[in-house]
Structure 1
Amino acid sequence: MGDVRNRWTAPFGWVARVFRIPGEERRSLVQTTKAAAAAVIAWVVATSVLKLPQPFLAPYAAVFLVQATVYRSLRGWAQQVGAVSVGVLLAAGVGHIVPSVTVALGMVVFGGLLIGSWRGFGDSGVWVGVTGMLLISYGSATEPVLLADRLLETALGAAIGAVVNAVVLPPLHGERLRAATSRLASAIADVLDETAALVRGGEPPEAADAVQDRMRDVRSLVAEAEDAIGWTREGRFLNLRGRREAPEAPLENLVSLWPPLAQLIDAVSEAARSEQPFQHPGEHARGVVGDLLEALAEVARSGDPDRLDRCRELVGEIDHLLVTPTDEVSTSIGLGAMALPARRLVQRLHAD
């Protein structure tokens, strides 16, 4: 019953989130509304102002140019107009040479899709073949006036879509950046806490496998964070609202923690699984490393750099243990393997 109720209430929850939080749902609603408005404007201009006959390409192009970022809209306009122009020229050439519509259709689709695969056309490459196909099938490939109309319709619709996207609430992706920052910070903090328990020796060796599984989750979140940074940067480019966006530096700093974090987890896991005592630090040294990892987890969760003072103190204590010839650590290579990535974690968090 619970699953059925959730399916029925999901649309209402989606609408509630549109008004409650500035997230993905609200951006989708805004972009959908803009695409519909761009299509209507393109149709009105093409039919009532320019008096073009059957200007179906104008609203069609307008819808596809309301992209996820302003940059993609402007780039898409150039690519789409270029692709349609090539498709028109291809249809005109084949239509004049080949009398059979069936043969000409096959040649235009084949040649158009082949030409459209050039990466310079991007996602608009398919328009080369589609435009040629439409012109051949409608029998207008040999009529210069109709060919010019198709070009004008496409350029008009694409331009209207790009302008609407750039001027009316141009899309930004700050909420994606904030969500990725929160998820990654929480995941890193959880891994550090679990690793602290593992390094102290309070967990069975099998717990190292669980930490490694958690690290794979962190790696996935790092990839998501890199994607969010890319979308945010692209969304800010040529965007009238771009300066209002939160900086991506905090998330970049969290992403930079991945290499030393992975090295630290590998060192701790190897020491936890080892049956050779000289590879594992003594109890006091493990306690210091555990304290450091827990302090780093607090910094990752809070984002407060002032808490790094305690981390730096613990790093200094680990350095002292490494250079002090005591029975506990003089033969331990495990502490040295943990110390270097732990130091790098402190340094990179401090760089924020």
Structure 2
Amino acid sequence: MIPSAREAWHRVHGEAGTVGRSVRSALTGPGPERDLAVQSLKAAGAAILAWAVAGWWWQAPLALMAPWTAVALVQSTVYRSVRTGVQQVVLIAAGTVLAAAAAGLTGDTMAAMALVLPVTVLLGNWSRFGDQGTYASTTALFVLVYGSYSGFDILHRLLETLLGAVIGIGVNALVLPPVHLRSARDSLCRLPRDATGLLRDMAEEIEQGHERHQAQEWHRRARRLAGRLTELRSARTWTRESYRFNPAHRIRRPPGPELPSTEWDAAWERVVDHLTSLTALLAEAAGERPRFRPPPSTVLADVPPLLHALADVCAADRTALDSPERRERALRTRQEAMARSWEAHRRLKARLTGGAAPDDETATSVGGLAAETRQLLHELENARVA
């Protein structure tokens, strides 16, 4: 469906606003936007340097191969640059040799293409080569279209490719080599930050008398926390990879304190599971036709203080992760908030044993509420920042 002029304008305006915010972020402080800008400038610089050596100084017959390879090898990690460089050299060499052999065998460009392209495309689709596979077939096309497949030309193609690979890898490894520790730290901080916001909103809306659509929105937000865990696992993988073959990671000052162990991630995975179950229970016990009988108002009155205390625990975790100078104070605040959380849970549990649930259906919802919040408390205890 073709958008109207008004919709198209809003989309363009929104995209322009996003680009503007990204540019401001890159100029005003460290972050993923600045990292991306640095990598882009490095790739452009590597291509220019490769062209200066191969095209301007060396006067190579197909100097394009050098900057073409160099710009593609300024990857997000030094290890990835090296791995991609090996893949590209193999693919370009294969494409060059196969194209030259096909041209020599057939003596016709069209026939050589028909012979070599199916082979190089199949070779490029081999999973070992990942997204670099197109270099085999595109190199074969360059060789055949330019008609440069003598022994001298083949040697030049390989030397130009090696030159571009050395320059691309060298620029990435020696000029501000990328380390993704900041991305992992940002992902770590997002988990307790988002959980804090969710818990506070739940507490305030329960105090005001929540509706089913609000509880369903809590559940959706809790499920989105699982996506934060996926981002965190990916960021940790990128961080580990960015240290491989990186000559500067030992001399560059790390951005912030050491990351907590992966046991912290596992504890937060269980926290997210129980928070998701808690919000699902509250959603099923709300509205005009609930699946479970809603907990009595006397029980719900004890839930907001517990949720506020849990939000304070998560907020303290975020401070401890984000601000080394406030770490000790944040951990003391966390300990005090955990004590308040347990006290609020004891009051909630007392409602269950003290006659607040007069029938089985109500006992189910109140008991589920007490059980899920207890599990949540235990897992938050385990998720303490060491």
Instruction: Give your verdict on TM over 0.5.
Output: yes
Deviation at 1:330, TM superposition (A): 7.1
CA distance in 2, matches of 1:290, 1:213: 19
Cα deviations by residue, 1:4-46 (Å, 9 ceiling, x for unpaired): 9999998776555334201233223321221222223323443
Structure 1 residue 344 corresponds to structure 2 residue 375: yes
- The structure-2 alpha-carbon separation of the partners of 1:140 and 1:223, relative to structure 1 and needing over 3 Å to count, comes to same
1:219 & 1:273 partners in 2: Cα distance?
Answer: 26
Aligned pairs for 1:57-72 (under 5 A) are: 57-72=65-80
Structure 2 residue identity aligned to 1:293: L
* CA displacement 1:108-165 (0-9 Å, x = unmatched): 2232112101111112110010111111112223x12211211121122112211211
Distance 1:129 1:282, change over 3 A: same
**Deviation string, structure 1 residues 270-301 (Cα, Å, up to 9, x no partner):** 12247689844333433333322221112222
Calculate the TM-score normalised by the size of structure 2: 0.77
Deviates more, 1:255-264 or 1:118-127: 255-264
Alignment match, 1:35: 43
Q: 1:208 aligns with which of 211, 215, 236?
A: 215
What is the CA–CA distance in structure 1 between the aligned matches of 2:66 and 2:365, rounded to whole Å? Answer: 67
CA contact (8 A) 1:94 1:104 kept: yes
User: 1:157-186, CA deviations, whole angstroms, 9 ceiling, x for partnerless residues?
Assistant: 112211211121011334434444444433
Matches within 5 A, 1:1-352: 16-46=24-54, 52-141=60-149, 143-197=150-204, 202-215=209-222, 217-242=224-249, 244-246=254-256, 247-249=258-260, 252=265, 254=268, 256-273=270-287, 279-303=293-317, 304=330, 305-306=334-335, 307-319=337-349, 321-322=351-352, 324=353, 326-328=355-357, 331=360, 332-351=363-382, 352=384
Unaligned runs of 5+ in 1: none
Q: Distance in 2 between matches of 1:50 and 1:277?
A: 77
Alignment CA distance shift 1:120-1:185 (3 Å): same
Letter in 2 for 1:334: S
Question: What is the aligned residue count?
Answer: 349
TM-score normalized by structure 1?
0.83
Structure 1 counterpart of 2:138, one-letter code? V
Can you give the 5+ residue segments of structure 2 that lack an aligned partner in the other structure? 1-9, 318-329
> Do 1:69 and 1:235's aligned partners in 2 also have CA atoms closer than 8 Å?
yes
2:321 alignment counterpart? none
Name the SS of the counterpart of 1:272 in structure 2. Answer: coil
Q: Is the 8 A contact 2:298 2:356 kept in 1?
A: no
For 1:189-229, what per-residue CA distance to the aligned partner results, in whole angstroms no more than 9, with x for missing partners? 23223333555682233432333343455455454444444
The separation in 1 between residues aligned to 2:41 and 2:160, in whole angstroms, is 21
Letter in 2 for 1:298: D
- Counterparts of 2:343 and 2:359 in 1: how far apart (Å)? 21
Q: Distance in 2 between matches of 1:319 and 1:63?
A: 63
- CA–CA separation in structure 1 for the residues paired with 2:21 and 2:214: 39
CA RMSD of aligned residues (A): 3.4
Q: Distance in 1 between matches of 2:289 and 2:350?
A: 26
- Stretch deviating more after TM superposition (338-347 or 119-128): 338-347
Q: CA 1:14/1:290 → structure 2, altered by over 3 Å: closer, same or farther?
A: closer
Separation in structure 2 between the aligned mates of residue 190 and residue 14 of structure 1, nearest angstrom: 24
Aligned counterparts of 1:325 and 1:8: Cα–Cα separation in 2: 59
Over 3 Å counting, the alpha-carbon distance change for 1:11 and 1:148 in structure 2 is same
CA distance in 1, matches of 2:195, 2:17: 34
